[in-house]
Structure 1
Amino acid sequence: MLYRELNVPQHHTLRHRKLKSGEVIHTTANTGIILVESNESMQTAIARADQAMYQGKQQGRNQVVFA
């Protein structure tokens, strides 16, 4: 996959936040990354990035998907 070629780790460990109350908040993120084509509208590009993000959500937490 492209993330290997770009040397981007597939999974990222995000920080856990501890509130004053002692409660810990765990954060996850999925990211969809695209290369915008020169003849592509911004609306289409955003839709592709959104689709890539949801593909990452289907694969699990903390995913980076290139489309």
Structure 2
Amino acid sequence: MSITMIRLALAILGIIHLPDYYVHVHLEAGRLVPILDPFRAPDNGIWAIYPHNRHLSPRVRLLLRHLGQGLG
């Protein structure tokens, strides 16, 4: 769905509101221009919620490490 929205915006057929990671290439190239920045919600981050009192599987531990490095 977001790809369709981006294509419509690139064809100048509408305004879209998507996270930067969907459109950063088009913003950097100047194909899209941010116009809704004054109405943007503050960035409060992303939260990973998991039980601390249980043994975490290696996969969950790896995911949390990956998210921390990539988003932190």
Q: Same fold (TM over 0.5)?
A: no
The TM-score bracket by the shorter chain reads under 0.3
Higher RCO, 1 or 2 (CA under 8 Å, sep at least 6)?
1
Q: Which has the larger radius of gyration?
A: 2
| Structure 1 length-normalised TM | 0.25
| Structure 2 length-normalised TM | 0.24
